[in-house]
Amino acid sequence: MKPEKITPTPSDVKQTRLFHSLSQTPDLLRDTLIICAGLTGATAMGWGFRAVGIPEANTVVIYIFAVVLISRFTRGYCFGIAASVLATCAFNFFFTVPYYSLSVDDLSYFITFFIMTLTAIIICTMNARIRQIAVLKQEADAERYRSKLLRSISHDLRTPLTGIKGTSEMVRDMTEPEDPRYAMMSGVCDDVDYLQGLIENVLSLTRLQDGQILLHKQPEVAEEIIGSAVERVAKRAETRDIDVKTPEEILFVPMEAHLIEQVLINLLDNAISHTAPTGRITVTLSRDSGFARFTITDDGPGIPAEDLPHIFEMFYTSASRSSDARKGIGLGLAICQAIVERHGGEISARNAGPDTPCSGACFTFILPLEEAKNGEKS
């Protein structure tokens, strides 16, 4: 299982700076200033000690203390380690005979230098490690909290829907089809199904837009996901014929299965609502060099030319349809695009030409067959 980090939010960027401090100029300046201030302070105190005759062993301790402080207030390992080395050099330069030179008369000072540098490096490494663990824990807590929140929202939305769906279907089945109440209850049932689809979409969208939530991609067999999606829309498809064409080759595609299933369900639902009850919908899976290509075509009227450039925009609904027709709030296709792009793929829409077997709309999306290597945490 490879969780993929999705588009970083500002807080994300702030956290990753901890590990890439050198690439951030303002932080570099700040941390350099901290080093200068810390070491200057330690040197000043050392001079003070020498002036009042305190032995230089104490100055060593002062320098180590300065390094501890520096590693506490700078980010990452680099500054702490740099400070350790600089502190040893400064001690050598200012406080060992001969003064104001890096050369040493008494060779036993090398033991002091060595132990001083080592102690300082160990302390600042430990400091950095502790901070790193704290950040990781904070990230994990945030992720847990968000998943929990999303889960309770979805539970609270689905529970009443289950009651309404079950009850309305039962009431419908208890009335005779000639009874006007049958038609009314059928309307309720259709609305519930529509609402159910909408909730699934909104939940997927919330999940995708929350940059802190990781996608759990796993290699899935593409034809299984298609089969499952077709199965789930079968009831709504009624008499429409859904043909599935898959290649002989088994295509493993890294994906979060339910999200890609959602894309297919949305595209199939779209095709169903734009075709006659005798319509024909074709789902084709094929390999296209490094990608798996999913194509959904129908024999409906196709997409009006003026809608084609905007069809994946969120909240875009076609102007050409009558105002009382259910057209939704234009989320379905926008979510398809968001999901496909989060998987490193592309989605497009066009009208099938007269030479193709289906004359209506044609939606195509591609997903990479290999996990992208860059920019991902495993």
Partner 1 sequence: MNPTQVYSETILIVEDDPQIRNFIAYALKGAGFKCLTAGTGQDALSKMTESPVDLMLLDLGLPDVDGMQVISRVREWSEVPIIVVSARDQDREKASALDSGADDYLTKPFSATELMARIRVAFRHLHQNANGQQRPPRYDVRGLTIELDKRQVHIDGQEIHVTPNEYRLLSLLAKNAGKVMTTDTIIREIWGPGYGDDTQALRALMASLRRKIEKKPGSPAFIKTEVGVGYRLMDI
- The two beta strands, 2-4 and 252-255, are unpaired
Q: Which of 14, 137, 148, 151 lies at the binding interface for partner 1 (CB under 8 A)?
A: 151
- Cα gap 339→294, rounded to integer Å: 14
Interacting stretch for partner 1, rule CB under 8 A, among 34-42, 107-115, 214-222, 330-338? 214-222
Q: Which of 223, 307, 346, 371 lies at the binding interface for partner 1 (CB under 8 A)?
A: 223
- Residues in contact with 44: Cβ distance below 8 Å, sequence separation at least 6, in sequence order: none
Q: Measuring CA to CA, which residue among 24, 127, 17 is closest to residue 83?
A: 127
- Cα gap 5→211, rounded to integer Å: 8
- Residue 376 touches partner 1, criterion: CB under 8 A: no
Residue 99, helix vs strand vs coil: coil
- Whole-number minimum distance, CB 272 to partner 1, in Å? 15
Residue 295, helix vs strand vs coil: strand
Q: Which of 4, 261, 269, 299 lies at the binding interface for partner 1 (CB under 8 A)?
A: 261
- Residue 308 touches partner 1, criterion: CB under 8 A: no
Pick out residues in 165-184 that bind partner 1 (CB under 8 A): 165-167, 169-170, 173
- Cross-strand pairs, 350: 362
Looking at beta carbons only, is 28 or 257 nearer to partner 1? 257
- Whole-number minimum distance, CB 235 to partner 1, in Å? 9
- Residue 240 touches partner 1, criterion: CB under 8 A: no
- Residue 338 touches partner 1, criterion: CB under 8 A: no
- Whole-number minimum distance, CB 123 to partner 1, in Å? 41
Task: Let me know: does 76 contact 85? Beta carbons within 8 Å.
Answer: no
Q: Which of 161, 184, 198, 202 lies at the binding interface for partner 1 (CB under 8 A)?
A: 161
- Whole-number minimum distance, CB 309 to partner 1, in Å? 31
- Whole-number minimum distance, CB 270 to partner 1, in Å? 18
Residue 31's identity, in one-letter code, is D
**220, two tokens:** 């899935």
- Whole-number minimum distance, CB 273 to partner 1, in Å? 20
- Cross-strand pairs, 291: 288, 368
Q: Which of 105, 248, 324, 355 lies at the binding interface for partner 1 (CB under 8 A)?
A: 248
Phi, psi of 196, deg, nearest 5 = -60, -45
- Cα gap 83→71, rounded to integer Å: 8
Give the up-direction half-sphere exposure of residue 136: CA atoms within 13 A in the CB hemisphere: 8
Residues that bind partner 1 (CB under 8 A): 151, 154-155, 158-167, 169-170, 173, 192, 196, 200, 203, 218-221, 223-228, 230-231, 242, 244-246, 248, 250, 252, 257-258, 261, 283, 285
